[in-house]
């Protein structure tokens, strides 16, 4: 470093300043390195720019660093890999406002890991940035060229950003393909403690013809948890009538708990009169 200092003292050239700045940086003297290279940044050059960026990083002057890197990105002088590396570095520095437009563009055009970067920045910034992310994810789940795994990934990203915002999106998907999406939609409402809304959601789906037996049973248990036995009783009654077995026992048990003894007697009489009643259910009467 002494040689670099002597050379700079004698010549005062940009080249000598760059060499000395590099020596300062290598010896943890970032402030002195920055003072030497800052006037040279306008002249450009990879060595100057590297030392300048490293000195700013070491000193924690991240706003100035973000401004410098953003100018590089806007100038269009970087290839794709160089630009990507800058964006990852800016994301690592939490320079969210500066990096957001670039992350959004890459998330829209390239997807993959850029989805997560965009989501991180938008969540951190909130406000319009978060609204933009939620609108983007709502469009993403409608894409015909992604599979349900990728769709679910985007739904989880939406819920992480805003569970309330995901309610309408999940309800729309569950209405279109209930078997695939009702559990996720129900869990989101459960996490939000929206028990009445959850019960209404389940009541609207459980009677549909495109719901299989196992799904109806699972939804009935979810409805009991969300709305209580009294609210779920009509659903339990249908299952007891259609399936019998355990649901017959559940229905009778809940009639007793609710003090509806007359209804219980009437139900048992009607059930006993059924000629197609399985022997196991008849023995349980």
Cα gap 26→54, rounded to integer Å: 10
Give the range among 15-19, 84-88, 176-180, 204-208 with minimum mean pLDDT. 15-19
Q: Phi/psi of residue 155, each to 5°?
A: -65, -40
Percent of the chain with pLDDT over 90: 58
Cα gap 97→90, rounded to integer Å: 10
C-alpha distances out from residue 204 to 11, 230, 237, Å? 83, 17, 16
Per residue in 48-85, pLDDT (tens digit) is: 889 888 989 999 999 999 999 999 999 988 999 999 99
Q: Is 46 within 8 Å of 78 (Cβ atoms)?
A: no
Report helix angle 80-92 to 62-75, nearest 10: 160
Per residue in 267-284, pLDDT (tens digit) is: 666 666 565 655 555 555
- pLDDT, residue 79, reads 93
Residue showing tokens 């920055």: 34
Cα gap 225→162, rounded to integer Å: 24
* 4-13, 186-195, 219-228: range with highest mean pLDDT: 186-195
- pLDDT, residue 211, reads 87
Q: Is 236 within 8 Å of 221 (Cβ atoms)?
A: no
Task: Give the contacts of 99 (CB within 8 A, at least 6 positions apart).
Answer: 66, 70, 87, 90, 91, 117, 121
Environment class of 99 (CB within 10 Å of its CB; exposed 0-12, middle 13-18, buried 19+) = buried
Mark out the alpha helices in the chain (DSSP H runs).
2-11, 14-26, 30-37, 46-59, 62-75, 80-92, 96-109, 113-125, 127-140, 148-161, 163-176, 178-191, 195-206, 213-242, 246-257, 261-272, 279-284
pLDDT exceeds cutoff 90 at 210: no
pLDDT exceeds cutoff 70 at 20: yes
pLDDT exceeds cutoff 60 at 38: yes
172: Cα separation from own chain's centroid? 18
Average pLDDT over residues 261-271: 71
Cα gap 21→29, rounded to integer Å: 9
């Amino acid at each position: 470093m002494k040689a670099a200092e002597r050379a700079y003292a004698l010549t005062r050239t940009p080249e000598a300043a760059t060499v000395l700045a590099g020596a300062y940086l290598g010896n943890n003297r970032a402030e002195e390195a920055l003072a030497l290279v800052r006037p040279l940044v306008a002249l450009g050059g990879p060595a100057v720019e590297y030392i300048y960026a490293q000195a700013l990083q070491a000193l924690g002057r991240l706003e100035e660093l973000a401004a410098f890197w953003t100018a590089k990105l806007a100038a269009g002088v970087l290839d794709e890999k160089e630009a990507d590396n800058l964006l990852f570095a800016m994301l690592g520095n939490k320079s969210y406002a500066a990096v957001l437009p670039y992350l959004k563009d890459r998330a829209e055009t390239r997807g993959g890991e850029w989805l997560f970067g965009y989501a991180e920045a938008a969540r951190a910034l909130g406000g319009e940035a978060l609204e933009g992310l939620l609108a983007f994810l709502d469009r993403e789940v409608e894409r015909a060229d992604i599979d349900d795994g990728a769709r679910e990934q985007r739904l989880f990203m939406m819920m992480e950003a805003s569970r309330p915002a995901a309610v309408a999106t999940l309800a729309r998907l569950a209405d279109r393909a209930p078997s695939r999406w009702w559990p996720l939609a129900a869990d989101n409402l459960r996490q939000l403690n929206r028990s009445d809304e959850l019960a209404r959601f389940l009541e609207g789906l459980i009677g549909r013809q495109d719901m299989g037996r196992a799904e109806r049973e699972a939804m009935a248990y979810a409805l009991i948890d969300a709305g209580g036995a009294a609210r779920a009783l009509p659903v339990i009654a249908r299952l007891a009538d259609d399936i019998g077995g355990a649901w017959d026992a559940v229905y009778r048990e809940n009639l007793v708990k609710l003090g509806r003894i007359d209804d219980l007697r009437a139900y048992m009489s009607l059930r006993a009169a059924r000629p197609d009643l399985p022997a196991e259910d008849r023995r349980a009467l």
